[in-house]
Amino acid sequence: MIPSLISGLPLFPERASTMASRVDALYFFLIGVSAFFAVLIATLIVVFAIRYRRREGYVQEPAPEGALALEVTWTAIPLGLVMVMFVWGASIFVAMQRPPDDALQAFVVGRRWMWKVQHVDGRREIDQIHVPVGRSVKLTMTSEDVIHSFFVPAFRVKQDAVPGRYTTLWFQATKPGTYHLFCAEYCGTQHSRMIGQVIALEPADYAAWLAGSSGAQSMAQAGGATFEQLGCASCHRDDSQARGPALAGLAGRPVQLQGGTVVVADDAYLRESILNPQAKIVAGYQPIMPTFQGLVSEEGLLQLIAYIKSLQAKVN
Amino acid sequence: MPETSTTAGAGTVARPGSPGARAHAVAHQFEDAEQQYEAANLGMWVFLVTEVLFFGGMFTVYVVYRSMFPAAFAAGSHELDFVLGTVNTAVLITSSLTMALAVHAARAGGRGAQVAWLAATMALGAVFLGIKLTEYAHKFAEHLVPGPSFRFAGPDAPQAELFFSLYFVLTGFHAVHMVIGLGLLGVLTTLAWRGRFGPSYFTPVEVSGLYWHFVDLIWIFLYPLLYLIDRHH
Amino acid sequence: MHTSHPTISTTTYFVIFVLLLCLTGLTAGVAQIDLGRLNTPAALAIAATKAMLVVTYFMHLRYGSALTRIAAATAIVFLAILIGVTMEDVVNRRTGVYLKGITPTQSIGAWMDVGQEPAAPLPR
Amino acid sequence: MEAARPAVHYLNADYGVRSWLFTRDHKRIGLLYLASITAMFALGGMAALLVRLDLLTPAGDLVSDDTYNKLFTMHGIIMVFFFLVPSIPAVLGNFLVPLMIGARDLAFPTLNLLSWYIFNLGALVTLWAVLTGGVDTGWTFYVPFSTAASNTNVVAAALGIFISGFSSILTGLNFIVTIHRMRAPGMSWLKMPLFIWSIYATSFIFILGTPVIAITLALVGIERLFHIGIFDPALGGDPILFQHLFWFYSHPAVYIMILPSMGVVSEIIPCFSRNRIFGYSFIAVSSLAIAMLGFLVWGHHMFVSGQSVNAGLIFSFLSFAVAIPSAIKVFNWTATLYRGSIWLQAPMLYALGFIGLFTIGGLTGLFLASIGIDVHVTDTYFVVAHFHYIMVGGAVMGYLGGIHYWWPKISGKTYPEGWAKIAALIVFIGFNLTFFPQFVLGYLGMPRRYHVYPPEFQVLNVMSTAGASILGIGYLLPILYLVWSMRYGQAASENPWHATGLEWQTPSPPPTENFSETPIVVDGPYMYRELDAEEVKRVA
């Protein structure tokens, strides 16, 4: 019975993203180093314990207090090794933080206890997300209540979804299949049931999935409707009557603020400018915009941002 | 039993000094009054280190939020009573002076002076708390207490609520420290009245003084951080 | 008995007291003047000076043992670590753009920018 | 040198409940703490047992979701704040610090007793919170879950921890002042036993870290109680700021647990190797280095929290740096065995077991410091396994080793050596069986705090639960035979291990005043040789 159990026992998770093999390579390196030192220490202890076990007529030698050369050696070697680990781990992490520019976009809102996903074309999913193999996907995430964490073990990626701000995560699936999606940040009663699936499809299958049962408003369209409904266009317009900055082509570009600082109009900036307009005033404009805190839902915000980004597409 | 015959590298010897070196006020664990004094003094300083970090947690929250919402903090600060805050600073500084003089008197041994300066310190502490309560009452009346009844005009209302949360938490914990200090001073005054302190024994007055000055120190920083943001507007 | 702890004369206490009152007046006055981004640093510098006076004279740090000075320094160092490292995160995470050669728009000193004059008064 | 059991000692100097409840004797207070934390350990252990039993099946059939969440929260809060943090400092530290430095008591005996009452008050408030509905936030109290979402007794639990924090502060304060001001003549800093160094470094963390967790939990309680926003994201508050404040204490808290254990091991290894400790000053200084550096690495708990990338990289770098002093200690302990005369009594078995488990815990810490791997394994069972290797494999092994080593001094009786060796072996085996499979589970991706889990994780979970039952027996045995030995054990001599150190120069159990005369110190610690009269005179 035991052997059959062991043979069916997985030791490593499936490797289904470009990041997975990079993380695993470092993992195996660390296992190698750890095993070497663990075995070394264990062997020394056992050998010493047997070799020097209570001897008759033992007299303590006037042993040195220590040996500087030895101390320096066993300080320097681990130090060198951990610095290799640091640089290696940091390079992986930096890559995890840099989504490729051509990544597909999708938006994720965590809520106790479900994952709400919306694709750029407006398609919504709950507790599952379809992605194409071989194409980078960038998720922009937030939460409606408490902190959640989007975790796909097969991709070796994880990122908290934090209420009140955006975080991002990207991956590129390498193998078609259905993979676990876990909430990894404790969020209450059904935390362990806040799970789902990441379904990676071959490009052709993904295209077929996209083609099926569409017809929903795209995110940008929905955002445009909200934009009209809230009367944003009365100030953010292209003519001389504009009391707010023009939005076309804004997303992703640097913005000059009062006081001379320059920020990049990323998602976080756009979100802040809607919810807390006084925080960053664009040079040449008055701080007259009211807050829209409480008037727009988290999904509505994501749609508004998608709309602002689509304005950029028109200009280009 | 191990085969090696061992004894530690230590021996014992009677400590030099006459039996009279251990005065009546020295607790049994100390060798002499000097050691006892130094232990108490160091103990209070170490305690004050923990107090710095205790308030430090709140200061960290303050620094982070002020960096995020400078305008809201300025708007919130404008709602505080500049005059009362300044007067209270002066009151607390004066109480630090009287406390220092009380320690001085305890060292000199004059009973009347000790009691007088301690009582003056308590009176000033009470004045400070009285003024603070008045300010709190105004804030209640103006709906500036964070929570469901909070009302604040202007675009920064949510972040101004954060400012007032910090205002009440910081000044509230400071006031709690003041109350504890008043309690300590009350005990000291009684003991001083009974003539317990003099040149050979004044440690309690001295370490309580350290505590009182520390509470003053915290206020010295709270005053500009809470009351003086963007005053010139 | 406590020969290692010389007493400070009452005159010194009064001098320090007067200095502290003057500094309080100074900080209250300076706050009324627009110094641009220097208002907050000025207020904190004055507060730090007052704190030094209280610690040095009222709390006898100047005459105490080296150990008490080390204790005071330890408190300041670790408070600085708590605030400084937390701010390192707060300041750098807000721009949303990292490690691409783009200078963070906020610096550690940015929270002192309150004194800067906005283009128009805040709407009420 | 072998003195008979003294007629009057600290245990029989006075009788009756009052003589214990109002004692100011550091040795008796140490025993009071021993009683309190043993009770808390039993409660925390029962919660752990229920958690492990529930995880036998993927569907979590034993208890409901909410009950499961309350159980692991109770386990975490009790074990961290009411067992591990006070364990060695408050029990062995209280008992040994004055004895080891040749003092009659701690500097502030009344504060010491007060700290025990405060500890119990905090524990009772927390237990009240647990018994009247429970708490389900996890011991980490993350906002906004703890402030806005949880509808359990968060305020009471936070209040209990807040209160018990003052007992930590008073204990640390007492140790720092005592070690600075009350060492026996001749005991310079570099002649202090390594246990004293580690307790000194631990006290440092008590003093600097505890007030920050106190105010942080107070802010959570205030936010909840008065419905004001402090960390509330709806007002612009920052939940990640809470995490910074929380881990500023809670990461160094791990060193509160492991440093004293390292100190115990540094006493046991030279004694049972009959060797001077190798690299005394490196071990001593590395304790301080760990305490200091420990305050600079808290952000490695937050690599996926959304903190800035810069901060993540800095914290990763510093986390690797803090591994070095720990590695230095392990190498020096191992070198101390070389050419010694090794006596494998129970305390030595615990100490060697400590080195093994701590080495694994420390090495897996490198995986977590490595920011690219941490993204995958954080908040999974990999982290659970790692910190149990440090906090249970490390801290508790050291604690048990210390209890056995000094038991003759504490109780005046010898414990049954055979049973003790068996228990040490059971603990070692049970521990590894419980927690090693969790490393694999974590890398496979099983998140922590999961009540139900995918069926492919079941085999490893069953192994872990089986190990936990063995571990439970291993922990039960010492409680039984140590209590038995208090009544039926053989009387212990003054120095049964023929150890060095001032605590072995006074009778077992020691008199209330510890030493009949103030001892003086000539040599550094761990010198196994006779002193001649000339040397005694020279220092005197």
Lowest mean pLDDT among A139-143, B12-16, D327-331: B12-16
Strand partners, A196: A181
CB D289 within 8 A of CB D325: yes
B97 in a structural domain: yes
The pLDDT value given to residue A279: 80
Per-residue pLDDT of B35-76, as tens digits, reads 899 999 999 999 999 999 999 999 999 999 999 888 899 999
User: What is the average per-residue pLDDT within B89-97?
Assistant: 97
Residue A55 CA to residue A115 CA, distance in Å, equals: 66
Shortest CA gap D180–chain C (Å):
9
Picking from A211, A231, A252, the residue at the C-terminal end of a domain is A211
pLDDT score recorded for residue A61: 65
Pick the last residue of a domain from A187, A211, A235: A211
Tokens for A201, please give them.
Answer: 């499809």
Size of interface C-D (CB pairs under 8 A): 47
Band (pLDDT 50/70/90 cuts) for residue B23 is very low
Tell whether B73 is within 8 A of chain A (Cβ): no
pLDDT of residue C122: 27
Pairwise pLDDT comparison (A223 vs D246), residue with the higher score: D246
> Looking at the domain assignment, is residue A60 inside a domain?
no
What number is the ipTM of this complex?
Answer: 0.89
Task: Please state whether the peptide bond connecting residue A132 to the residue before it is cis, i.e. omega within 30 degrees of 0.
Answer: no
Using the 3D structure, point to which of A149, A180, A211 is the last residue of a domain: A211
| pLDDT score of B25 | 66
* D106 and chain A in contact, CB less than 8 A: no
DSSP strand pairing (A128-132 vs A196-201): parallel
Residues 6-35 of B with CB under 8 A from A: none
State whether A133 and A114 are in the same domain.
yes
Do residues A204 and A125 both lie within one domain? Answer: yes
Q: Which pLDDT does position B75 carry in this prediction?
A: 92
Using an 8 Å Cβ cutoff, are D259 and D172 in contact? Answer: no
Question: Distance between CA atoms of C105 and D308, rounded to whole angstroms?
Answer: 14
Q: What is the pLDDT of residues B95-108, one digit of tens each?
A: 999 999 999 999 88
Specify if D2 maps to a domain.
Answer: no
Pair A158, A229 in one domain: no
Mean pLDDT across A215-223? 75
Residue D521, both tokens: 């110190």
Number of structural domains (chain D) is 1
User: C104 pLDDT band (50/70/90 cuts)?
Assistant: very low
In a domain, B28, yes or no: no
Domain match, A27 and A108 both: no
Q: Does C121 touch chain A (CB under 8 A)?
A: no
**What is the predicted pLDDT for the residue at C106?**
27
Tell me which residue of D361, D369, D299 sits closest to D329, measured CA to CA. Answer: D361
Q: Within 13 Å, how many C-alpha atoms sit on residue D63's CB side?
A: 19
**DSSP 3-state of D264:** helix
Q: Is residue A92 part of a domain?
A: yes
Q: From chain A, pick out residues whose CB is under 8 angstroms from the CB of D150.
A: 188
Cβ-proximal residues to D464 (8 Å cutoff; 6+ apart), any chain:
D52, D55, D433, D434, D435, D437, D438, D441
Would you state the pLDDT for residue B199? 86
Q: Which residues of D touch C108 (CB under 8 A)?
A: none
Q: Which residues of A touch B156 (CB under 8 A)?
A: 278
User: For residue D226, what are the domain limits?
Assistant: 29-539
Both A173 and A158 in one domain: the answer is: yes
Most confident of A278-287, A302-311, D430-439: D430-439
pLDDT at A64: 61
Residues 6+ apart with CB under 8 A from C105: A257, A261, A262, A263, C94, C95
**Tokens standing for B224?**
């500009």
CB distance C58–B213 less than 8 Å?
A: yes
- Top pLDDT among A85 and D531 is at A85
Residue B7, pLDDT > 50, answer: no
A187 and A248 together in one domain: no
d(CA D439, CA A236): 54
Return d(Cα D536, Cα D223) in angstroms, integer.
62
**CATH code for the domain in which residue B222 is found:** 1.20.120.80
What pLDDT shows up at residue D5?
Answer: 65
**Taking CA atoms, what residue in A is nearest to D58?**
A192
User: What's the number of domains chain B is made of?
Assistant: 1
Determine the Cα–Cα distance for residues B75 and B84; give it in Å rounded to an integer: 18
Interface membership of B118 toward C (CB under 8 Å): no
B6 inside domain: no
Q: Do C95 and A98 lie within an 8 Å CB cutoff?
A: no
Strands A148-152 and A157-161: antiparallel
Beta-sheet strands, E only, within D205-362: none
Q: What is the CATH number of the domain that holds A251?
A: 1.10.760.10
Q: How far is CA B94 from CA B111, C19, C52, in A?
A: 21, 11, 16
Q: How many domains does chain A have?
A: 3
pLDDT of residue A285: 83
A59 occurs within a structural domain? no
Please name the residue of chain B whose CA is at the shortest distance from the CA of residue C8.
B104
Collapse the DSSP code of A116 into the 3-class scheme (helix H, G, I; strand E, B; otherwise coil) and give the result: strand
Mean pLDDT by 10 residues, chain D (540 residues): 67 89 95 96 96 94 94 96 96 96 94 97 96 93 93 95 97 97 91 96 96 97 91 89 96 95 96 89 93 94 92 94 93 91 94 96 96 96 97 95 96 95 96 96 96 94 96 95 93 88 90 88 69 55
Residues of A in contact with D371 (CB under 8 A): 89-90, 92-93
Q: State residue D321 phi and psi, 5-degree precision.
A: -60, -40
pLDDT in tens, B174-191: 999 999 999 999 999 999
- Report residue B4's pLDDT band, with 50, 70 and 90 as the boundaries: very low
Q: Is residue A180 part of a domain?
A: yes
pLDDT of residue B213: 97
Higher pLDDT, A158 or B14: A158
Q: Is the pLDDT of residue A94 over 80?
A: yes
The candidate with the shortest Cα–Cα distance to C44, out of B60, B225, B215, is B225
Q: What CATH number did the domain enclosing D120 receive?
A: 1.20.210.10
In this complex, how many residue pairs, one in chain A and one in chain C, have their CB atoms less than 8 Å apart? 39
Choose the mutation target among D142, D145, D374 for the interface with A, i.e. most A CBs under 10 Å. Answer: D145
On whether the CB atoms of residues C48 and C20 are closer than 8 A, the answer is no
Test D305 with A162 for CB contact under 8 angstroms: yes
**Residues D397 and D353 sit within 8 Å (Cβ to Cβ):** yes
With CB atoms and an 8 Å threshold, state whether D369 touches A45: no
Question: Distance of alpha carbon D145 from its chain centroid, rounded?
Answer: 28
> pTM for the whole thing?
0.88
Task: Note whether residue B168 is domain-resident.
Answer: yes
Give me the phi and psi of B80, to 5 degrees please. Answer: -80, 155
Q: What is the dihedral of CA B176, B196, D116, D162, to 10 degrees?
A: 10
Task: Determine, yes or no, domain membership for D1.
Answer: no
For the domain that residue A120 is a member of, what is the CATH number?
2.60.40.420
C24 pLDDT band, cuts 50/70/90, is very high
List of chains touching C (3+ CB pairs within 8 A): A, B, D
Identify the residue with better confidence: B28 or A170. Answer: A170
Residues 6 or more apart whose CB falls under 8 angstroms from that of D162 comprise D122, D214, D217, D218, D221
Tell me which H or E stretch contains D406. Answer: helix D397-411
Measure in Å the smallest separation between the Cα of D295 and chain A Cα atoms: 19
The average pLDDT across B72-84 equals: 93
- Cα distance between the two ends of chain C: 64
Domain containing B217 equals 33-227
Q: Are residues A50 and A143 in the same domain?
A: no
Q: With contact defined as beta carbons under 8 Å apart, do A111 and A144 qualify? A: yes
Is there a domain that residue D5 lies in?
no
CA separation for the pair D51, D46 (Å, rounded): 9
Between the CA of residue C102 and those of A209, A254, A281, B67, D232, what are the distances in Å? 39, 10, 20, 20, 30
Q: What confidence score (pLDDT) does residue B11 get?
A: 43
In a domain, A306, yes or no: yes
Judged against a pLDDT cut of 70, whether residue A229 lies above it is answered with yes
Q: Which domain holds residue A184?
A: 104-211
Mark whether A112 and A206 lie in a shared domain.
yes
State the DSSP H helix or E strand holding residue A130, giving kind and residue range, or none if neither: strand A128-132
On whether both A109 and A91 belong to a single domain, the answer is no
Q: Give the model confidence (pLDDT) of B120-141 as tens digits.
A: 999 999 999 999 999 999 999 9
Say if CB D265 and CB D401 are below 8 A apart.
Answer: yes
Residues A47 and A92 both lie in one domain: yes
CA distance D18 to B163: 50
Instruction: For residues C48-69, give the mean pLDDT.
Output: 91
Q: What is the mean pLDDT of chain B?
A: 88
- Among A218, D312, A279, A235, smallest CA distance to B68 is for A279
My answer on whether A283 and A224 are in the same domain is yes
Confidence of residue C105 (pLDDT cuts 50, 70, 90): very low
CA angle B195, B201, B202 (to 5 degrees): 80
Amino acid at the residue A219: M
CA C29 to CA B224: how far, in whole Å?
A: 11
- The mean pLDDT value for A183-200 works out to 95
Question: What percent of chain A clears pLDDT 70, i.e. is strictly above it?
Answer: 91
Kindly state the tokens that stand for D153: 């007794």
Asked, for residue B153, whether it belongs to a domain, the answer is yes
* Side chain identity at residue C76, one-letter code: I
Strand A177-183 with A196-201, pairing: antiparallel
